[in-house]
Amino acid sequence: MSDTTYRALVVDDERLIRWSVGERLSRSGYSVDSADSGEEALEKITAAPPDLMLLDVRLPGIDGLTTLSRALVIHPDLIVLMMSAHSSVDTAVAAMKQGAIDFLVKPFPLQALDAAVERALTTAQARRQIASLTAERRGENTASGIIGDSAPMAQVRNTVARLAASETTTALIEGESGAGKEVVARAVHFSSARADRPFMQVNCAALVDQLLESELFGHERGAFTDAHTQKRGLVETAAGGSVFLDEIGDLPASGQAKLLQLLERKTFRRVGGVTELRADVRILAATNVGLEQRVTEGRFRADLFFRLNVVRIQVPPLREHPEDVPLLVAHFVARFNHDMRRQVRTVTPEAMELLSAYHWPGNVRQLRNVIERAFILYASAEELRPEHLPTELRDPKQSARPERPRDEPIELEAVEKKLIAQALDKSSGNQSKAARLLGVSRDTLRYRMRKHGLF
């Protein structure tokens, strides 16, 4: 359980069930109320909607399924677990279709209740996050959100627009790290007819083989040591939407075989499963390495490469379209003004000249980090000046160097998170005091805390 106290409503006409389930939830930190009929439950939901409802199918008066449908009209985000001692497949299916998240057959062990509640909360949170992110990003992540007036970026926008018109076509997005491959993938999804469905992503280089397969395709209970419950993967969660596979060149051999099956047959199996499940998703893959070379080396399946390489989008490095730097700077300044509640009004010509002359080995991501750094370290400034920029941008000798290690953004993030944590510890969690210690506004501090997961 997190620090959040969830409110639960247990609805059953058996007093013992109400007591035992309520007691178990209370011990787990829930605030629990109960009702012995559907009518009473609806009254309580109307007066003070709970986060979670455990609802019996057979009730005096209106039955559980009717109560379920009416409850979700009153409170659409309500998480509902159905319970029944007289279960049938038809009843369970009907409950799930009406909006229940899970179905428990009585009598059930209390450990099963714990697992079902945890799954339900996780699923509901994922649904809300997906809905929120989809609504929030639909506008800013279309093809028009790809920043740049240069010929290379116009070509990228044109290809994205054409690809978005096809709902199923697979794309391979190539480009250096930080060039904007994820931005392009999001633009394809949010410009297409799939925009109302989830956009899910995974970095294939960030997880070990077994965890990556589980993340993508899900797993059955007992599939491996820590698989205590069944889990849906990104492919299932993104039903009707898109799955973005970053660093596709690092997908392990077993995952490559499953991905090929998904692309060719529109089916897949969970890890440890034997049942073939159908999936309607668009696959968007990205790489910063040459997949053809990996095919030659035997590290990537040729048939999968050809299946992914239906439409290829080459995202150029920032050094190849420096004329877009002023537009990107303006975009990031506007974003951080909004996110940090700042009023940076301009970038001086001298600062813009330095930004435009730099070779940007870390591409657009590095440019974004430079602007963000200036916002954080110079919180009172109303304009960005040369002295607000890192040393390597202000030193012509360093600016003229060929590509250098791109460790600074990562190092800066780690140092910043540590400083914020120390300030919060020193101020006993008081955000206003921590902000004063760091010399930034409270809004800026809260923004940085959200980014680093320090809430």
Enumerate the domain spans of the chain.
7-133, 140-316, 320-406, 415-455
Identical fold at 7-133 and 140-316?
A: yes
Residue 58 per-residue DSSP state: S
Whether the bond into 386 is cis, omega within 30 of 0: no
pLDDT recorded at residue 402: 45
CB proximity list for 316: less than 8 A, separation 6 or greater: 152, 153, 156, 175, 179
Q: What is the mean pLDDT of the chain?
A: 84
CB proximity list for 225: less than 8 A, separation 6 or greater: none
Residue 408: pLDDT above 60? Answer: no
Span of 84-93, 187-196, 331-340, 361-370 with lowest mean pLDDT: 84-93
- Written out in words, the top-level CATH class of the domain with range 320-406 is mainly alpha
pTM of whole model > 0.95?
Answer: no
Q: What is the pLDDT of residues 351-394, one digit of tens each?
A: 999 999 999 999 999 999 999 999 998 878 888 999 999 999 98
pLDDT recorded at residue 151: 93
How far apart are the two ends of the chain, measured CA to CA in Å? 15
* Sign of the CA dihedral running 390, 393, 396, 398: positive
Q: Quick one: pLDDT band at residue 245, thresholds 50, 70, 90?
A: very high
Superfamily of chain region 415-455 = Homeodomain-like (1.10.10.60)
Superfamily of chain region 140-316 = P-loop containing nucleotide triphosphate hydrolases (3.40.50.300)
pLDDT recorded at residue 400: 46
Q: Quick one: pLDDT band at residue 396, thresholds 50, 70, 90?
A: low
Across-strand partners of 81? 54, 102
Superfamily of chain region 7-133 = Response regulator (3.40.50.2300)
Degrees to nearest 5, angle at CA 153 with 149 and 156: 140
> pLDDT higher for 314 or 381?
314
